[in-house]
Structures are given as structure tokens and as C-alpha cells.
Amino acid sequence: MNMKLDPWGAVNIDNYSKLFHEFGILPFDTVYSDISRPHKYMRRNVIFGHRSYDLITGAIKKGKPFSVMSGFMPSGKVHLGGKMVMDEIIWHQQMGGDAFVGIADRESHSVRGMSWEKCRDLGINEYILSLIALGFEPNGLIYFQSESNRVKDLAFELGIKVNFSELSAIYGFSGETNISHMISALTQSADILQPQLTEFGGPKPTVIPVGADQDPHIRLTRGLADKMNMFHVSVHPYKISDYESGEMITIHSKAHADVIVQSATQKAFNSIEKALKDVQMNDVKIDRYTGHIDIRYITSNRSDVILETTQNIVRQVERKLGGYGFMPTAATYHRFMSGLQGGKMSSSIPESHIALTDDPKEAAKKVKRAMTGGRVTLDEQKKLGGEPDKCSVYELLLFHLIDDDKELMEIHSECVSGKRMCGSCKSLASELMSDFLTEHQELRELARDRLDEYGL
């Protein structure tokens, strides 16, 4: 299949299940049952996949710290696709997460050629005002990449662990790609890992809500997080007898052969071994070696607890040694919205999208001109029913304009049965869109007076 995901190009995904097979993204329904108050994107299968989201559901259920982080490249007007990411950030913040939003001006400057002044203007007047208007609380962090020494310093450190061949394999970079473009990719990894720094109470689970086209950033960051850590923790099955099996956790040191480093590693292993024994896991056998520690136990319903305890101990010891102890980056993936005229929604084609700063009346007109999933004639519509799953107007209701699941299901049912005509959906959606934008733009003006609360 060889699907290509390009964070900076046009990506059209016609079969999301391919992402499960080609890139190792997991179906979101594997974690859905663990969420007590799921967002409507989760309930409606708009969020279709994840990586390591069980770390987030576990933190929410146990009331433990976690973070949500995502960013926006200031290259034009923010449209409804960008609102989806904002909605997910705000929901995770409401669930107790520490929220981080990066304005990717370094990326926009290097990839799109935007001036720094234009980046700042768009960042504030398009993205940040809408983010605040939608409900982002001031206890979260909003920042510009170019102004964050913490992010730039971490990006420099991450650059030690990656080379051109790896970036080329992930992003398709060639000899024509400028160096600043490559640096901007590392800067995004630094954005993603920043919430896990000691200054923010890390390490802790961090989720990145993204569209599927941004998965290369997630894969790069997950790999770099592991490379930056001093120790690698892995799990292997092992055979105890013909009738019994178990699991073995191996804590492996990444230290090279330098005598001083090896000495420090052995002291770290002493601390890890003592901490493991202090938690009194009586059914666990600990074997100490020069370069690794093996922890053997019979497979049971305590396996997850034993692994989590071990990982936490290793991270704590690494932090005391001055390391990072990063946790794997979690991510959620949402479906793309269709363009109003079919195809993909694109910020470069005004008629394909609705921007959050569009005039409400003009936006309503766009909705009324949008492509639907209706049949060619009214008679065919009544006989065969419409196709809401191919309808850009229904998508507006599904993604943004109707919060009541029951009401949405009724509209869907009436459409497929031939009882509902496209004109009624267009009228409803255009009215709701006009009302939403009118209110949103009023809230944006109020947000302008609150920028100092966010340190901007």
C-alpha cells in the first residue's frame, strides 16, 4: 500500500484502516470503554485511532498528572479543521490535564517563508484568540517556538540523537530540503516532549491530538524519547515449565564502555534494585547483571502493576542522575473534514472551508452552496434515501454544530430513509453556522482583552 503521510503537503486518506496496518496506529475503540465522559469526537468515531492513549485514560481514572499538547502553524486563517484540535485540547484540559499550545512560527518561517512579524500577527489574531474564545483556560501555556529557549535548547539536544537518513525515511527529505526545515521538525519534537521536563513536573503521560497527516512527528518523537533515556525497559515472555509461563522485564543500560559512566550506571542499578525490593513484590525474582537487571514473575493480573511500578522506579532514578526519563508520547488521530465542494478541506481554497473569522452571513451562503450526499432528483431521494456519510453538510452537523447525539441520529435516519431532503439540512446547518460564528467572534473580541492573563 505504501501510503505517504506528509505534514506539509496535501494528504487524502480514503481508507483509515490502512493506517492501522502500515503505521501501527491502534483503533480508538480499544480504549474507548475506559473513558467515563468521552468527547463527542470519541463518541462519533471522528477520533478513530491512537498511540499509547491507555496512559492518558489511566491517569484520568486515577487522578494522576498528565498533559495535552498540540501546535498550530501560523500560515493563514484558522478554519474548522483547526478548531477540531482546539476542541480536543480544551476537553483534555477540562479532564485535568496540563495544557500546552505551541505556535509553530519557526516552522512557518522555514517552510512557508512567512516573516516573523506575520507569524506573530497570525498566531495571536487567528489562532490564539479563537483558542481562548473556545474555552482554553489561562492555567495552560501558550507560547511561540521562536521565543521559547527551553524548546530551542531541547531541540538542540534531540538533534544529537537523529541523522539525515532517519529524517529522510520519516519525512521524505531530500538533498534539496533546507536545514531550517529539518530543524523545525526537531523543534516540533521538542514541543511535544516539553511537558515532561522537570520544570513542568515531568515525566508524565502526554497526549498530542492530531490529524493523521501529522503522524510522522509523533513517530519521530516517540523514537527520540526512547533514545534520550538512559535506560530501556522491555518485556519478554519466558517459559517456567511445561505447564507454566511467566514474563520477564529487562532494565537495560544504554551506557557505553567508559569506566566512569559504567560506575555511575552500577550505582543507578543499586538504586533501582533497592527500590524494587522496597516495594515488596514477593512473587518477583530480581537478577542483577553488569549491564542489565532482569525481573521475572508468573503472568497474572498484576503484570501491568509490576511493569508500571518498575518503569516509574527507573524514571525516578534517571531523573536523579540528571536524565530525562521520558514516557512514550501518546496521540489521538481524528478524521479529516471534507471540503465543502468535495475533496479535502484546504486553507488555500476559500470555498472549501469555513474560517472562524469568516463573516457569518457569507459562511451561511457557503453552507447552502456545499455539496451534499443527496440523489440527483427528489424522487430518487425519496426512493433510495440520501448518503449522509458522503455529505459535507452532514459533516458540519456531526463535527461541530449539533451536540445532542439523539438529534444527530434522527437526522441521519431520516436522510437514509428518504424522509429528509437536502434543503432542510442546508437550512439547519447554515443557520447554526451563522449563530456559532456570531457568538464565537464576540467571544474572540472579549479574549483580546484577556491576552495578558496568558502572558501574551
Burial track 89-107 (b if 16+ CB lie within 10 A, e otherwise): bbbbbebebbbbbbbbbbb
Model pLDDT, residue 15: 56
| C-alpha grid cell, residue 437 | 460564528
Q: What's the CATH code of the domain at 270?
A: 3.30.70
CATH code of the domain in which 438 resides: 1.10.240.10
Do 53 and 187 fall into the same domain?
Answer: yes
Structural domain includes residue 3: no
Q: Is the separation of the CB atoms in 361 and 368 below 8 Å?
A: no
Q: What are phi and psi of 292, to 5 degrees?
A: -160, 165
From the list 57, 7, 346, the residue with the least C-alpha distance to 173 is: 7
Residue 10 belongs to a domain: no
C-alpha cell recorded at residue 163? 541523522
Which residue, among 343, 339, 355, 278, has the nearest Cα to 312 in the 3D structure?
Answer: 278
Query: Residue 25 and residue 266: Cα distance in Å, rounded?
Result: 37
Nearest one of 57, 77, 78 to 68, comparing CA atoms: 57
Residue 343 counted as domain residue: no
Is the domain of 98 the same as that of 199?
A: yes
Beta strands in 241-367 (DSSP E): 245-253, 284-288, 292-298, 330-334
Q: How many CB atoms lie within 10 A of CB 237?
A: 9
Is the previous residue joined to 203 through a cis bond, with omega within 30 degrees of 0?
A: yes
Please report the beta strands in 124-170, taking only residues with DSSP state E, as ranges in sequence order. Answer: 141-144
**Distance (Å, rounded) from C-alpha 85 to C-alpha 75?**
16
On whether both 103 and 123 belong to a single domain, the answer is: yes
DSSP-assigned letter for residue 216: H
Alpha carbon distance 227, 254 (integer Å): 9
Contact call for residues 207 and 332 (beta carbons, < 8 A): yes
Domain that holds residue 276: 231-320
pLDDT by 10s per residue, the chain, length 456: 444 444 434 444 555 666 666 778 899 999 999 999 999 999 999 999 999 999 999 999 999 999 999 999 998 899 999 999 999 999 999 999 999 999 999 989 988 899 999 999 999 999 999 999 999 999 999 999 999 999 999 999 999 999 988 888 888 888 788 888 888 889 999 999 999 999 999 899 999 999 888 888 999 999 999 999 988 899 888 877 777 778 889 988 876 544 445 666 778 888 888 888 777 666 788 888 877 888 888 777 677 888 888 898 899 888 888 889 999 999 999 988 888 877 667 666 777 789 999 999 999 999 999 888 777 778 888 888 888 888 999 999 999 999 999 999 999 999 989 988 899 999 999 999 999 999 999 999 999 999 999 998
- Give a yes or no: residue 368 inside a domain: yes
Q: Is residue 7 part of a domain?
A: no
Based on the fold, state whether residues 72 and 96 are members of the same structural domain: yes
Q: What is the number of domains present in the chain?
A: 3
Residue type, 340: L
CATH of the domain at 91: 3.40.50.620
61 shares its domain with 73: yes
79 and 136 fall within a common domain: yes
Instruction: Specify whether 186 is located in the same domain as 52.
Output: yes
Residue 289 resides in a domain: yes
> Quick one: pLDDT at residue 259?
46
Are 152 and 188 contained in the same domain? Answer: yes
pLDDT of residue 115: 95
Residue with cell 469555513: 354
The two beta strands, 47-51 and 330-334, are antiparallel
Nearest CA among 11, 1, 3 for reference residue 214: 11
Burial class (CB in 10 A: 0-12, 13-18, 19+), 31: buried
Query: What's the confidence (pLDDT) of residue 9?
Result: 45
Question: How open is the CA angle 230-235-241, to the nearest 5 degrees?
Answer: 140
Contact 209, 332 (CB under 8 A): yes
- 55 and 195 both lie in a single domain: yes
| Bridge pairing between strands 141-144 and 67-72 | unpaired
- b vs e for 42-52, b when ≥16 Cβ sit within 10 Å of the residue's Cβ? beeebbbbbbb
In terms of domains, do 202 and 246 share one? no
- The DSSP result for 8-56, as a single string, is TS----S-THHHHHHH-PEEGGGTGGG-SS--HHHHTTSEEEEESTHHH
